[in-house]
């Protein structure tokens, strides 16, 4: 049930002669206790009376003490852990968090730093990234092409930030690459499945590593389906996106679409008659592959915006500038951001967005924060735009 924790204990020992006891704490009070005699593996279902739900606004966590005794009652080992009670479900074209509809206000987060590349300098900077996202009124982030340090996930659990957990992708396809991918992805899902903050799995992004999808390559198509099936077996509790942003097969739980249409009015117009058939700016690509079709699941515009700041030296403009919208000043950033986000909020049947992106990264100077995490615009102004967007979404205008 929704008020129940499942605790799995697997011992490095033969299946004989042990007892496991689990205590669940809320602050300094034990709210549940359960024990079981048995062997090398245990599954305990522990009901929490009047359990409190974990949400981004109220990230309630319970603490666990798990003890291992021999049958004479001597303590052999003890571990501490924590967990949150929350559910994430797809119902029709809506995402439900704890059975309540939720609109995702997310930012793309690549987890790079100027002083450490993919390695954070300290626990504090990992925590700060979560705090900055929350101060801007985002309720989630999509960690992009990176399996992040578990300390960052701890802060998302603790401070309340929804996460799309994404795998780093290969650029080329081969049968060897498939097997290596599967082996690593399985470890990722197993490692991170206990984090209440993670609400969606994203194994593949924009057909990276499976570029033959657009020509209906049968082996790459079946690989994508295989990854989704494997992920569901490892973790049946979260929705899975087969291929974020681009060509979907018929098994994706969420229609995740990348649409960098540069203004709110244009994006609203583009979505006026439901989902556009073709991928934004690449008229050769479609959202659904041969034989697959949109089946009414939630739609999330999982990359939008990407407004690039034009640098002083325009002689070396990156090719990104020919693809994304651009801006001259930070004042313009706020104005354009508001117009875009409110336009998206007016698109009916969309369950959220992910803005590209949280921070500048190298030559991608389209962050709401600079590479060293300085806000380009007041954080509260962004939060205000998000509140306005939510009132449009739930007001139904």
Model pLDDT for residues 138-160, shown as the tens digit of each residue = 999 999 999 999 999 999 999 99
pLDDT tens digits for range 163-197: 999 999 998 999 999 999 999 999 999 999 999 99
Collect all residues with Cβ–Cβ distance below 8 Å to 225 and sequence separation of at least 6.
Answer: 242, 249, 251
Which pLDDT band holds residue 274 (cuts at 50, 70, 90)? very high
Pull the structure tokens for residue 342. Answer: 């409110």
Q: How confident is the model at residue 397 (pLDDT cuts 50, 70, 90)?
A: very low
Mean pLDDT value of segment 274-300 = 93
Q: Name the band, by pLDDT with cuts 50, 70 and 90, for residue 330.
A: confident
Are 254 and 202 contacting, i.e. CB atoms less than 8 angstroms apart? Answer: no
234-258, pLDDT tens digit by residue?
999 999 999 999 999 999 999 999 9
208 and 168 in contact (C-beta within 8 Å)? no
Average pLDDT for 328-343: 95
Q: What is the pLDDT of residues 337-385, one digit of tens each?
A: 999 999 999 999 999 999 999 999 998 999 999 999 999 999 999 999 9
Instruction: Tell me how far apart the alpha carbons of residues 145 and 346 are, in angstroms, rounded to a whole number.
Output: 29
* pLDDT tier for residue 1 given thresholds of 50, 70 and 90: low
Q: What is the pLDDT of residue 216?
A: 82
Nearest residue to 164 via CA among 184, 192, 137: 192
pLDDT at position 320: 87
Roughly how many angstroms between the first and final C-alpha of the chain, as a whole number? Answer: 36
Phi-psi domain of 178 (left: phi exceeds 0; alpha: psi -120 through 50; beta: other): alpha
Q: Is the pTM of this model over 0.75?
A: yes
pLDDT of residue 260: 96
How distant is the alpha carbon of residue 157 from its chain centre?
13
Cα R_g (the chain), whole angstroms? 22
Look up residue 19 and give its two tokens.
Answer: 């007892």
């Amino acid at each position: 049930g929704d008020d129940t924790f499942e605790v799995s204990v697997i011992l490095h020992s033969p299946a004989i002669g042990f007892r496991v006891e689990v205590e669940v704490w809320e602050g300094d009070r034990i709210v549940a206790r359960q024990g079981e005699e048995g062997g090398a593996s245990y599954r305990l279902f522990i009901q929490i009376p009047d359990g409190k739900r974990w949400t981004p606004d109220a990230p309630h966590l319970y603490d666990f003490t798990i003890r291992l005794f021999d049958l004479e009652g001597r303590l052999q080992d003890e571990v501490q852990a924590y967990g949150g009670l929350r559910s994430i479900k797809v119902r029709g074209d809506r995402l439900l968090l704890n059975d309540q509809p939720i609109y995702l206000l997310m930012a793309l987060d690549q987890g790079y730093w100027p002083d450490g590349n993919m390695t954070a300098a300290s626990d504090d900077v990992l925590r700060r990234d979560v705090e900055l996202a929350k101060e801007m009124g985002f309720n989630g982030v999509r960690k992009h092409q990176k399996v992040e340090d578990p300390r960052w996930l701890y802060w998302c659990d603790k401070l309340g930030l929804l996460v799309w957990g994404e795998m780093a992708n290969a650029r080329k396809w081969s049968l060897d690459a498939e097997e290596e991918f599967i082996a690593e992805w399985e470890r990722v899902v197993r490692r991170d499945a206990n984090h209440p903050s993670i609400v969606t799995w994203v194994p593949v992004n924009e057909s990276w590593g499976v570029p033959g999808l657009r020509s209906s390559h049968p082996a790459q198509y079946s690989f994508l389906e295989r990854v989704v099936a494997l992920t569901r077996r490892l973790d049946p509790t979260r929705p899975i996106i087969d291929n974020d942003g681009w060509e979907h097969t018929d098994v994706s739980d969420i229609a995740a679409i990348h649409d960098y249409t540069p203004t709110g009015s244009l994006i609203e117009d583009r979505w006026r008659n439901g989902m556009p058939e073709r991928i934004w700016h690449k008229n050769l690509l479609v959202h659904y592959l041969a034989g697959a079709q949109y089946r009414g699941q939630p739609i999330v515009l999982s990359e939008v915006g990407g407004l690039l700041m034009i640098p002083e030296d325009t002689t070396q403009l990156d090719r990104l500038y020919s693809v994304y919208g651009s801006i001259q000043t930070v004042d313009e950033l706020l104005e354009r951001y508001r117009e875009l986000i409110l336009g998206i909020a007016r698109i009916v049947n969309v369950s959220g967005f992910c803005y590209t992106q949280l921070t500048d990264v190298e030559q991608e100077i389209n962050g709401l924060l600079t590479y060293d995490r300085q806000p380009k615009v007041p954080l509260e102004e962004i939060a205000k735009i998000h509140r306005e967007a939510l009132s449009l979404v739930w007001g139904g205008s």
